Structure 1
């Protein structure tokens, strides 16, 4: 069984029920999530050994976050305790022409206060095959960025494949700072994952003939984005999700993968969205699973897109689907008929 290690923050998500606005809500529903935590849950559901590395407060809320990961079969031995608090984010789900809104309350979170000496990377990577992190993690602070760099170096020394989802968050840092910091990690990255905007926001690499707001995405433009990322940093593979936003409720969903000098484009899925949060993470988890399972580049891409398509229909941050369900959709059965 392949072992995947992910490093990042797990957060408490608080959201009004259904599609209520914040000011309408008399109560908030609580679940846990976070980029790398979501990838871990996907991989555990797919039958891999997935371990989350993070720091949570030594209190009942931190323990609840650990319990959440254990519930889904994630290895929690590297979820260390300490720091002040668990990060929180508030989500108001959008509908039709009203966009979703996220409000962060994560300052002084436990993982943002983590120090590089908190993590014994050679021990963590013992027996590991893959290491995954996102651009959110180093954005939490210079101290966390140093821990990420330590992890990348240790993974390289251990012969572990490294993947990074650029995941630019303007509320955490500027494009200039993101570009400076992320450029330090990219020489260690074997598989780079991005969405339609990340490469532009982090590295200034923009797809030609593309209008994100208008939902116009150019295949040729994103071929050049992927090739520039690969050429600049030496990434063996670059995957880019291609979201055509019709409204907050309906998107077209696809992706491309540039690997070994070849471009692969997936099937496009029309999605009626139940919960968009975690969609990119479910793509990353699916891609990691496909590549570790020795799928062809095209099949690994199709698996990732189908897995993420299904995630958009599931409440919460995590993707609760099996390999069989993903492969059924890959095979063309997207009818949604009742299974008896």
Structure 2
């Protein structure tokens, strides 16, 4: 499968050794983003992947492009413009201390200031089997929003499945009203095929009745927008231990995965690993239960590595599933 993703690239600066930011005098550099993470995971599953984005026309952009290629994706459709990339610092959690992320000016990035005119969408769609669009693009600027709409519409017209991820961030929408954002999401849901999100996305953003149970709520959303599927995860904490389970709602109904306990080294990117697992399984035509088992194993493994971009291979994920949620203490 050849899959493209449209979304921002960010520079991640990780404080090492579980230190706090004020304790550190060095950071670890990597490049990430929702589309980057999903494509990195899919590349490790054996798919051909292409990122559609914008990077600054300077050495930072060069380094970012090299990092993306190293993760296994093509940078052929990344445009070079401007001189800024959005960035964020990560302070890894430990014990009772939560992981903390601090963002720095992503609105003025090369991607955040890009428009439809910057991209070769016809070239992107040539020979493409699937497209992923991150909902962050609806919040950054009018330019990225209109580009997302144009690409989604073109993909749907070309019968390329559109995978859309809500990724709604209140902090990015100080200049947009709730009704504006709801309308933007309604707009991109029209050409979408499979959507990733949460119960809260449907009730708090889209205005669905929060009194409905999950099956009624998710099924109504799938019917209203004529989707092939709606997928997401749910976390819980019991006795100090964290668990996750995933759902996949199709026109046939709602199915949940078995619950998986998490050992968390770095939780950023876990949802992207789940989305990549769903895309991989749906593309393979697997039964819903098998798709969910693979996807929840993918997110569990992503939580057990440092860095946003999931690096587990399909064979490693399948081994995790076959061993009932573990691969043993040593692999030789």
Question: So what's the TM-score if we normalise by structure 1?
Answer: 0.91
Q: Does 1:336 align with 2:325?
A: no
Residue number in structure 1 paired with 2:233? 241
How many residue pairs match? The answer is 327
Q: For 2:285, which of 275, 279, 294 is the aligned residue?
A: 294
Following superposition, the deviation at residue 173 of structure 1 comes to: 1.4
Per-residue CA deviations over 1:171-220 (Å, capped at 9, x if unaligned) read 11164443221111001111011135333342133654xxxxxxxxxxx8
Q: Does 1:30 align with 2:29?
A: yes
Q: Secondary structure at the match of 1:14?
A: strand
How far apart, in 2, do the equivalents of 1:291 and 1:30 lie?
A: 33
Q: For 2:183, which of 180, 184, 206 is the aligned residue?
A: 180
> Which contiguous aligned blocks of 4+ residues in structure 1 show a shift greater than 4 angstroms?
none
Residue number in structure 2 paired with 1:211? none
Question: So what's the TM-score if we normalise by structure 2?
Answer: 0.93
- Correspondence list, 1:1-340, <5 A: 2-105=1-104, 106-173=106-173, 175-205=178-208, 208=211, 221-245=213-237, 250-331=241-322, 332=324, 334-340=326-332
Instruction: Tell whether the 8 Å contact from 2:233 to 2:246 is kept in structure 1 after alignment.
Output: yes
How far apart, in 2, do the equivalents of 1:153 and 1:51 lie?
A: 18
When structure 1 is superposed on structure 2, of 257-266 and 39-48 the one drifting more is 257-266
Q: Sort the Cα spacing of 1:244 and 1:117 in 2 relative to 1 into closer, same or farther, 3 A.
A: same
Instruction: Tell whether the 8 Å contact from 2:202 to 2:208 is kept in structure 1 after alignment.
Output: yes
Runs of at least 5 residues in structure 2 that lack an aligned partner in the other structure: none
Instruction: Tell whether the 8 Å contact from 1:57 to 1:81 is kept in structure 2 after alignment.
Output: yes
Instruction: Tell whether the 8 Å contact from 1:196 to 1:243 is kept in structure 2 after alignment.
Output: no
How far apart, in 1, do the equivalents of 2:203 and 2:64 lie?
A: 33
Q: Secondary structure at the match of 1:78?
A: strand
How far apart, in 2, do the equivalents of 1:296 and 1:3 lie?
A: 21
How far apart, in 2, do the equivalents of 1:107 and 1:149 lie?
A: 18
How far apart, in 2, do the equivalents of 1:250 and 1:318 lie?
A: 24
RMSD: 1.8
